[in-house]
Amino acid sequence: MTEIKKVAVIGAGTMGASIAAALIAKNYPVLLKESSETFLARGLATIDSILKKGVEKGKVSPQDATTQRGLVTGTLDYANFFDIDLVIEAVPEQVEIKKSVLKDLNDNCKASAIIASNTSSMSISQLGSFSSRPAKTIGMHFFNPAHLMKLVEIIPGLETDQETIDTVIDFATKLGKLAVQVDECASFLVNRLLGRYMNESLWCLEEGIASQDEIDQKTCEYNMPVGPLALRDMNGADIGLWVAKYNQSEYGPRFEVPPLLESMVKANYLGKKTKKGFYIYDDQGVKIGSNPDLAKFVKPATSGDFKAERLFLPMINEAFLALQENVCRKEDLDKALCAGLGMRKGPLALANEMGLSLCLMLMEENFQKHGERYRPAPLLKRYVFAGRETID
């Protein structure tokens, strides 16, 4: 294992600034590279505000905040990259930008430096091929905001060497994170499973199974810190649509994109950023009610018998599919979902609580009604055929 002493972060946007804050909180010196003075100043201001909030909440003393801030060096070039041990790139999710940054890193970093990407969707194996040092390239997927969220998915590419994997897992652990190794697959583990649940919430709304308030409220009561539709409004329907289309293109019909999402984007009902999504928001971003104009796109909610389990069944099924593909260790799956999404119980714990035979029965019933979204995972069937009610 290599000891990581100096770290660089590329891009000081939403993720880069909060990753830098997570690093300085553990006393790592950080070289923060941006593409312009304006963006660098914005990123440094974000770090200042994270530190200020930490002081106000009593999480960090004013002296420590000053010391930590002193650990960040902003830069617009690669002149001081020669002794960096680990680079975390957090530039926009566009292949040409990533490619050019990886080439620059390859030209400016020492041979032993590890190049980690915070990509949400790109292939780590492909990014490794751009850097010409695939053995030292790895995915390090932080969750937003990185200084607060506990999970980091560690994704080796096809050529990543074991020393790089061990070093990065050890480093993420030293940052106080839960580091979970995930095999390369579209959206990795947590967002892949989240995608099934998010889509299902939209199908339920669209089909008139329940109103947005009922879906969010029952889901929170059942297992989540925030309902799926409120979460979609926070992240933006445009980003949600891009991710949903990407998942469908990678995984096929079980990730079919609910037409409602596209309609919302066309109507500019993007959520908090346009003050109108599933809900309506005031200028401060505070929810003031449901969006009545959604009635154009959804059937009136009539049944009143919505059960939150309906959203978690596709997630449970996807968890079995992921285990079948060895995407992660069984013992890591629930821990990753709980740390990444704030779930109180992970999908496997929910499946165990329901009993696997009931899970399968409900999947089969829904498969008859709704098709591919509910086709039971072969591994789930095997457990039930073997007479197992839990996956412990």
Ligand X SMILES: NC(=O)c1ccc[n+]([C@@H]2O[C@H](COP(=O)([O-])OP(=O)(O)OC[C@H]3O[C@@H](n4cnc5c(N)ncnc54)[C@H](O)[C@@H]3O)[C@@H](O)[C@H]2O)c1
Footprint on this chain of ligand X (rule: CB under 6 A): 10-16, 33-35, 39, 90-93, 97, 101, 118-120, 142, 144
The per-residue DSSP string of 306-340 comes to --THHHHHHHHHHHHHHHHTTSS-HHHHHHHHHHH
User: DSSP per residue over 201-262, as a string?
Assistant: HHHHHHTTSS-HHHHHHHHHHHT-SS-HHHHHHHH-HHHHHHHHHHHHHHH-GGGPPPHHHH
- Closer to ligand X by CB, 123 or 217: give it: 123
Query: Least distance (Å) from ligand X to the CB of residue 244?
Result: 15
Q: How far is the CB of 40 from ligand X (least distance, A)?
A: 8
User: Is the backbone peptide bond immediately before 259 cis, with ω within 30 degrees of 0?
Assistant: no
Q: Which is nearer to ligand X, 81 or 255 (CB)?
A: 81
Q: In terms of CB distance, is 235 or 274 closer to ligand X?
A: 235
* Least distance (Å) between residue 6 CB and ligand X: 17
Residue 130, amino acid:
F
Smallest distance, ligand X to C-beta of residue 197, A: 17
In three-state secondary structure terms, 348 is: helix
Count CA atoms within 13 Å of residue 210 on its CB side. Answer: 20
CB of 129 to ligand X, least distance (A): 17
Give whichever of 19 and 348 is closer to ligand X, judged by the CB atom.
19
Helix extents (H) in the chain: 14-24, 37-56, 62-69, 95-108, 124-131, 162-174, 190-206, 212-222, 228-235, 237-251, 259-266, 309-324, 330-341, 347-354, 356-370, 378-385
Closer of 89 and 332 to ligand X (Cβ): 89
Would residue 367 be called left, alpha or beta, if left means φ above 0 and alpha means ψ between -120 and 50 degrees?
Answer: alpha
- Of 156 and 376, CB closest to ligand X: 156
Min dist. Cβ of residue 143 to ligand X (A): 6
Task: State the first-to-last Cα distance of the chain, in angstroms, to the nearest integer.
Answer: 32
Our CB check for ligand X shows the closer of 33 and 177 to be 33
Work out how close the CB of 252 gets to ligand X at its nearest, in angstroms, rounded to a whole number. Answer: 22
Exposure string (b/e) for 268-306, b if CB count within 10 Å is 16 or more? ebbbbbbbbbbbbbeeeeeeeebbeebeebbeebeeeeb
**Position of tokens 């959203």?**
311
Q: Smaller CB distance to ligand X: residue 258 or 340?
A: 340
Residue nearest ligand X, CB atom distance: 13
- Min dist. Cβ of residue 187 to ligand X (A): 11
DSSP tag of 276: B
